[in-house]
Structure 1
Amino acid sequence: MVESMSWTVVDGASGGLGRAIARNLAEDGHDVVVAYRGNRAGADETAELVRSSGRGVMIEPVDYESGVRAHVG
């Protein structure tokens, strides 16, 4: 049997609303990618909340600035 997996990326998950969304998604059965820009400690805290729900978690730094600058000029 193959288990279906549902991964959800939550940007800004190192605190506040993003953390709450990540926690709720984990409680609803999603594995979560915790995306953050500069607050690694906050991302680690969010990841622990996801783990405590028994779900998988990955932590990924993101930076959209260079991509935006490439399009804006």
Structure 2
Amino acid sequence: MSITQQYLLDTYRARQHDEAAPPAPGVHDWQVVREWRDERQFRAVLAGRPARARTRIQHAMSRRPRLVRRSTG
């Protein structure tokens, strides 16, 4: 059974019992990745190694769109 089929089955069962639907597959994936990265950095600091990864703010600032000025000709 695939993840999608299991999700649909769980959603169907939740509706039958008037319960809240479960979260869709993949909804919390990025949060899990962030928590894993934070844990890895924390363990590196405890072991005396530098935590080399960029902070979330630095990462977000590097991805922001840059304004491009058009030359008027």
- TM-score normalized by structure 1? 0.37
Whose radius of gyration is greater, 1 or 2? 2
Which protein is richer in helix relative to its size?
2
More contact order relative to length (CA 8 Å, sep ≥ 6)? 1
Between structures 1 and 2, the one with greater strand share = 1
